[in-house]
Amino acid sequence: MARKPNLISKEEIHQLSTLIKEKGSIPIVHAVDCKQLSYHVHTITGKNLSESTLKRFFGFSKNEFSPSYDTVRILKQYVTQHIQSAKVSDAASLVLDFFNPLHFEQISTADNSFRAACRSIALSLKKDTLLLEQVMEPLAGSAYGRRFYYDLFADYELLPKVQKKGYALYLQHEKTYEGKMFAHCILFLCGFFENNHDLMKDKWKTISALYQPKSKLHPFVLGRYFQTQLMAHHLFKPAETKKIIDDVFKIEKKMPRNEAGNFKEFPGFHYFVCDGLWHIGAYDQLLKMSAIALMEFRKYKEFTWKGYYDQLYLYRALALIRLGKSKQAQQLSTRIQPERFYFPTKNYFDQLYREFVDHRDQ
């Protein structure tokens, strides 16, 4: 398809390039600067302009160049939106700069210092929701923002208040099967917290159509898928809930016990399924699933200090109480240290812990 004719004059092109240099936050001095500008244009507008196109636009190419209509349109949009976004706080700029793709060329995402930095940023955004609102959209538009903020820090307290919009924006940009499945499951959970049955039904329908049994999902995402299926069937199609439970235990038998890397050391599938079983009142099955998670998987320091194992014991204790086995539940008290609950879900599990304590002390 022929590109649209460009009706802008050379003088207007010069004015546009000058405006970008003066008002933009990326110094355009050398050809190499166009790589950073290309990323920044995408961050601000969501549109792609290649490094080579920008090099020609700013005269770093010896060949004569007449920019296309789309190039000019995107750059005008960039200037306008960038001026508007210049009011964004310095803190927001620092957050967005952290997720600059150029930084990821030099670091390992498995590095403990990098993970600590991600946690620090997520905790700052939890404490300052105005800051989160400023960066939410560009983070959703950035692959690194999606992977290292949204994928790792679905915050049950923030989800109905702020993050709901962020995950909807996430889905506008996400191309991967796993990412789409994850975000739709999170939005189902948001509907559950809001008691929004329309949202829950919509997301249940979406993930059911999206699911590909032969396509591999990370254990955490697969667990969230079946957490959703358990809760949705219990609410909207209870006659088929038993079949979902049976499917869960068939899949559980196939889950590797010795995977490593990318948080696969932890029984994430079992963890989220336990939450689903709790919500539907399947207490015997919850005891069985949590026992497998705690006995057949090695314990790791990272998941210990995050309180994940404590939370599995908490599910067990609550299930025992509901089954009338309070004395057995009391014996698990020393296994549960609520001060270790990880911040994205701390309030959620604090409420469950208070329920345990109330029944334990009766």
pLDDT in tens, 304-337: 999 999 999 999 999 999 999 999 999 999 999 9
Instruction: Give the list of residues 6+ apart from residue 90 with CB closer than 8 angstroms, or none.
Output: none
- 75, 41 Cβ separation under 8 angstroms: yes
Q: Which amino acid is at 120?
A: S
Mean pLDDT of 100-126: 87
Q: What is the pTM of this model?
A: 0.76
pLDDT in tens, 121-148: 999 999 999 899 999 999 999 999 999 9
pLDDT in tens, 141-184: 999 999 999 999 999 999 999 999 999 999 999 999 999 999 99
pLDDT of the residue at 1: 46
Q: What is residue 332's DSSP assignment?
A: T
User: Out of 12-26, 197-211, 265-279, 343-357, which region has the weakest mean confidence (pLDDT)?
Assistant: 12-26
Q: Residue 96: CA atoms inside 13 Å, Cβ hemisphere, count?
A: 25
CA of 251: how far to CAs of 219, 245, 278, 304, in Å? 11, 10, 19, 25
d(CA 19, CA 24) in angstroms, rounded, equals: 8
CA–centroid distance for 142 within its chain: 12
- 92, 131 Cβ separation under 8 angstroms: yes
- 153, 122 Cβ separation under 8 angstroms: yes
**Residue given tokens 């320091």 in the structure block:** 301
pLDDT in tens, 191-235: 999 999 999 999 999 999 999 999 999 999 999 999 999 999 999
Mean pLDDT of 52-58: 91
Mean pLDDT of 98-116: 82
